[in-house]
């Protein structure tokens, strides 16, 4: 009787877990399904499989729907993609560089302001988006800096440096300092040691931080929303605008493509993470086949 009860309880828990996954994934799958539905009036009612919405967003000839909204917005969409990529790539490059330098300084030097710098880099991560967004807006207007790609890049870097810092710091903390000492001991100067030992060993952290920065930059809505100018809309802001203007089937197609893109990046990231070397020396075990 008691084992039966435990069994039922286990089943219940499993069922609940599966329900949770359904909750996570059903909405996303719904969009993907809708994006292929050819019913132009009510996307709830399934007509037929079509790729027309994908054609529509790229301005290709198609039969369905009123292309009124998207006739000129294909250009806007592509411009938004371009802006997003420009911003994300520049931001990734800059914040990865600065974040890594900072992590190196904090992990490998002893100085009085160490605690202060950890705090400094912690702040942007906990600052609510909306606060940072409007603070930056006020700042850019006050100093007379035009809003546009430049302001978005600066805005993203303010908090992405911290993300890179955290990821690289974690990697550095796992890096055995004796490896660097061994390199110096064998005659390598500080720069050689950095180039040939430290950098290769923290590379997975640096790449991981960079990919995180890229993904977050591509996805940021709130801060970008406040500090993007009229001519420089990023993809999330563009989609936000579309949704606010009304639900159109074409949005499903854009959304599906975006999901695919982020999944691809996440998959690459996880693949790289599995391939990386450990940053600690191989743990010696106590058996020696050569000797037995």
Find the binding residues for another protein in span 151-170 (CB under 8 A). 154-155, 157-158, 161
Q: Which is nearer to another protein, 60 or 270 (CB)?
A: 270
**Stretch of 57-65, 75-83, 85-93, 95-103 lying at the interface with another protein (CB under 8 A):** 95-103
Question: Distances from the Cα of 155 to the Cαs of 36, 70, 229, in angstroms?
Answer: 36, 30, 13
Cβ density class 238-257: b for 16+ within 10 Å, e for less = bbbebeeeeebbbbbbbbbe
Q: Which two tokens mark 273?
A: 């993470």
| Interaction pattern, residues 230-269, with another protein; x per rule: CB under 8 A | ------x--xx--xx--x---x---x--xx--xx-xx---
Residue 253 CB partners (closer than 8 Å, separation 6+): 35, 53, 54, 56, 57
Q: How far apart are CA 148 and CA 232, in angstroms?
A: 5
Q: Measured from the CB of residue 13, what is the shortest distance to another protein in angstroms? A: 5
Determine if 35 is a binding residue for another protein (CB under 8 A).
no
Q: For tokens 């908090």, what's the residue?
A: 159
Kindly tell me which residue out of 69, 170, 188, 272 binds another protein, with binding defined by CB under 8 A: 188
Determine if 272 is a binding residue for another protein (CB under 8 A).
no
Q: Measured from the CB of residue 61, what is the shortest distance to another protein in angstroms? A: 26
Kindly tell me which residue out of 120, 148, 150, 170 binds another protein, with binding defined by CB under 8 A: 120
Determine if 93 is a binding residue for another protein (CB under 8 A).
no
Determine if 63 is a binding residue for another protein (CB under 8 A).
no
Q: How far apart are CA 54 and CA 66, in angstroms?
A: 14
């Amino acid at each position: 009787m008691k084992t039966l009860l435990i069994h039922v309880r286990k089943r219940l828990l499993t069922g609940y877990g599966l329900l949770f996954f359904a909750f996570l994934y059903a909405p996303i799958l719904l969009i993907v399904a809708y994006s292929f539905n050819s019913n132009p009036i009510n996307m709830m009612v399934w007509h037929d499989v079509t790729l027309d919405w994908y054609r529509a967003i790229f301005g290709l000839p198609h039969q369905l729907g009123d292309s009124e909204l998207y006739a000129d917005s294909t250009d806007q969409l592509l411009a938004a993609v371009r802006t997003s990529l420009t911003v994300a790539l520049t931001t990734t490059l800059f914040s990865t560089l600065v974040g890594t330098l900072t992590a190196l300084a904090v992990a490998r030097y002893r100085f009085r302001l160490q605690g202060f710098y950890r705090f400094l880099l912690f702040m942007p991560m906990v600052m609510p988006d909306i606060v940072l967004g409007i603070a930056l807006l006020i700042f850019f207007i006050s100093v007379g800096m035009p809003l546009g790609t430049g302001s978005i890049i600066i805005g993203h870097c303010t908090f992405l440096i911290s993300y890179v810092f955290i990821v690289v710091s974690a990697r550095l903390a796992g890096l055995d300092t004796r490896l660097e000492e061994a390199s110096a001991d064998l005659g390598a100067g500080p720069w050689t040691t950095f180039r040939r030992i430290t950098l290769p060993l923290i590379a997975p952290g640096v790449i991981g931080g960079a990919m995180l920065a890229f993904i977050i930059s591509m996805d940021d809505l709130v801060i970008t929303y406040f500090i993007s100018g009229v001519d420089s809309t990023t993809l999330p802001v563009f989609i936000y605008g579309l949704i606010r203007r009304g639900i159109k089937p074409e949005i499903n197609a854009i959304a599906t493509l975006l999901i695919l893109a982020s999944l691809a990046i996440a998959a690459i990231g996880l693949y790289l993470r599995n391939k990386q070397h450990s940053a600690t020396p191989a743990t010696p075990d106590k058996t020696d086949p050569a000797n037995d």
